[in-house]
Amino acid sequence: MRHLLGTRELAYDDALRILDTALEFSDVANRTVPKLPTLRGVTMVNLFFEDSTRTRLSFEAAAKRLSADVMTFQVQGSSVSKGESLKDTAQTVEAMGADIIVMRHFASGAAHRLAQSGWVDAAIINAGDGTHEHPTQALLDAATLRSTFRGDPRGTNLEGLRVAIVGDIAHSRVARSNVFLLSSLGAHVTVVGPTELLPKGIEDWPVAAHHDLDAVIDEGPDALMMLRIQRERIRGEHQPASGDYVRNYSLTPARASRLPSDSIVMHPGPMNRGVEISSEVADSPRSVILQQVRHGVAIRMATLFDLWGGTS
Ligand code: NCD
């Protein structure tokens, strides 16, 4: 693989290989010295035009566990705020030695633009572009589902698993990336939310769309993935009223108690406790939220390794 830009164009075999490689890497964290020499001499740059806590830290942890050098370019206070273009910024970062650029950008399509422009030779990983895609998040979610529901998951896909993604589907790059990846791996994906938070053109997605969370819960899904309302991305459109949203879409203990006993609850973070998910559910045994974070590091190690040629 040359770049990782989205899951829509990610080949099935590439996805399975990254998931399998992540399993090989997942025990590195438990070693006395949690480091492999694999990417010694390789420089990864986190180029973040938007805030992030877990994604940036997770890429940093992944790169360090593979002995890569890490640089971080956070846009606040940089010359991007003085109008420097994406081209100049990326070329500057590459001139400082970047072999792999992990980029988060507020504009949908920014990572594709950079990869296709020929401005830089570095491998590009999309760490979230606007409302478009966030492929490593979907891969870590697939890894979490696979390790929860498949005994020894190597080589297996998610055939037949039923996953409901709940909330602000329209503005969520996490939802988009998950819909394409999970359905390509064989899962049945349902998206649930009020009309104004389901994207236009949802009929063309490989999903079932619903407005009634209670009805979806009664179907007994294997996993519920709760998303926050991305208020920072909703401009000039109808904002759902908080009271109505909580009443209809919050995962409360009462709703969670109607799920089958082995169903899991996921959330990519950051959570708004008391809005899309109650604290009691987020901290309950069926919540795999911290396992998602742990899988995230292994998935990012596997992605870096794959882009660097898959040889140690
Ligand atoms: C998400 C993101 O930034 O797209 N967070 C993440 O990467 N874990 C989701 C969000 O911001 O709600």
pLDDT tens digits along 34-73: 899 999 999 999 999 998 889 999 999 999 999 999 999 9
Determine the residue of 46, 125, 137, 197 to mutate for testing ligand 1's pocket, defined as the one with the most ligand atoms within 8 A of the Cβ atom.
137
Nearest to 75, CA basis, from 97, 45, 118, 96: 45
282-290 long-range contacts (CB < 8 A, ≥24 apart) are 284/253, 284/256, 286/256, 286/259, 288/144, 288/148, 288/264, 289/265
Q: Do the domain assignments include residue 93?
A: yes
pLDDT band at 311 (very low <50, low <70, confident <90, very high): very low
**CA–CA separation, 128 and 107 (whole Å):** 9
The DSSP 8-state label assigned to residue 133 in this structure reads B
The reply to whether 158 and 285 lie within a common domain is: yes
The reply to whether 305 and 197 lie within a common domain is: no
Nearest to 141, CA basis, from 224, 76, 67: 224
Quick one: pLDDT at residue 312? 39
What separation in Å is there between the alpha carbon of 139 and the centre of ligand 1? 14
Average pLDDT of span 9-29? 94
Average pLDDT of span 178-205? 96
Does residue 270 have a cis peptide bond before it, meaning omega lies within 30 degrees of 0?
A: yes
The reply to whether 148 and 79 lie within a common domain is: no
pLDDT digits (tens, 9 = 90+) for 94-127: 999 999 999 999 999 999 999 999 999 999 999 9
Q: Do the domain assignments include residue 2?
A: no
Determine the residue of 51, 53, 55, 173 to mutate for testing ligand 1's pocket, defined as the one with the most ligand atoms within 8 A of the Cβ atom.
55
The reply to whether 127 and 206 lie within a common domain is: no
What separation in Å is there between the alpha carbon of 203 and the centre of ligand 1? 24
Quick one: pLDDT at residue 140? 98
In whole numbers, what is the pLDDT of the chain averaged over residues? 94
Q: Do the domain assignments include residue 262?
A: yes
The reply to whether 77 and 189 lie within a common domain is: no
pLDDT band at 83 (very low <50, low <70, confident <90, very high): low
DSSP string, 292-307: HHHHHHHHHHHHHHHH
Number of folded domains that form the chain: 2
With a 6 Å cutoff on the Cβ, whether 233 touches ligand 1 is: no
Q: Reading across the β-sheet that carries 162-166, which strands appear in turn?
A: 208-210, 188-192, 162-166, 223-226, 264-266
* Residue type at position 173: R
In this predicted model, which residue has the larger pLDDT, 7 or 28?
Answer: 7
The reply to whether 184 and 200 lie within a common domain is: yes
What separation in Å is there between the alpha carbon of 55 and the centre of ligand 1? 8
Q: Do the domain assignments include residue 117?
A: yes
The DSSP 8-state label assigned to residue 251 in this structure reads B
As a dihedral over the C-alpha atoms of residue 57, residue 265, residue 194, residue 212, rounded to 10 degrees, the angle is: 170
The reply to whether 278 and 222 lie within a common domain is: yes
Pairing, β 162-166 against β 223-226: parallel
Q: What sign does the CA torsion over 20, 23, 24, 25 have? A: positive
Residue 80 scores a pLDDT above 70? no
Q: Do the domain assignments include residue 7?
A: no
Quick one: pLDDT at residue 38? 94
* Residue type at position 205: W
Residue nearest to atom 7 of ligand 1 (CA): 55
Residue 235 scores a pLDDT above 80? no
Q: What sign does the CA torsion over 96, 99, 103, 109 have? A: positive
Average pLDDT of span 227-242? 80
3-state secondary structure of 4: strand
Q: Do the domain assignments include residue 251?
A: yes
In this predicted model, which residue has the larger pLDDT, 285 or 240?
Answer: 285
**CA–CA separation, 170 and 189 (whole Å):** 15
What separation in Å is there between the alpha carbon of 227 and the centre of ligand 1? 9
With a 6 Å cutoff on the Cβ, whether 292 touches ligand 1 is: no
Domain that holds residue 234: 135-290
Report the percent of the chain where pLDDT is more than 90: 85
With a 6 Å cutoff on the Cβ, whether 8 touches ligand 1 is: no
In which element (H, E) is residue 264 found?
A: strand 264-266
Q: Do the domain assignments include residue 206?
A: yes
Q: Do the domain assignments include residue 253?
A: yes
Quick one: pLDDT at residue 8? 97
pLDDT digits (tens, 9 = 90+) for 245-303: 999 999 999 999 999 999 999 999 999 999 999 999 999 999 999 999 999 999 999 99
- Ligand 1 atom with minimal separation from the 128 CA: 4
What separation in Å is there between the alpha carbon of 103 and the centre of ligand 1? 14
Residue 31 scores a pLDDT above 90? no
Determine the residue of 134, 178, 226, 294 to mutate for testing ligand 1's pocket, defined as the one with the most ligand atoms within 8 A of the Cβ atom.
134
**CA–CA separation, 132 and 180 (whole Å):** 12
The reply to whether 60 and 198 lie within a common domain is: no
Average pLDDT of span 144-160? 94
The reply to whether 149 and 276 lie within a common domain is: yes
Supply the CATH number for residue 161's domain. 3.40.50.1370
With a 6 Å cutoff on the Cβ, whether 178 touches ligand 1 is: no
The reply to whether 117 and 152 lie within a common domain is: no
**CA–CA separation, 177 and 185 (whole Å):** 12
What separation in Å is there between the alpha carbon of 32 and the centre of ligand 1? 31
Q: Is pTM beyond 0.85 here?
A: yes
**CA–CA separation, 306 and 10 (whole Å):** 13
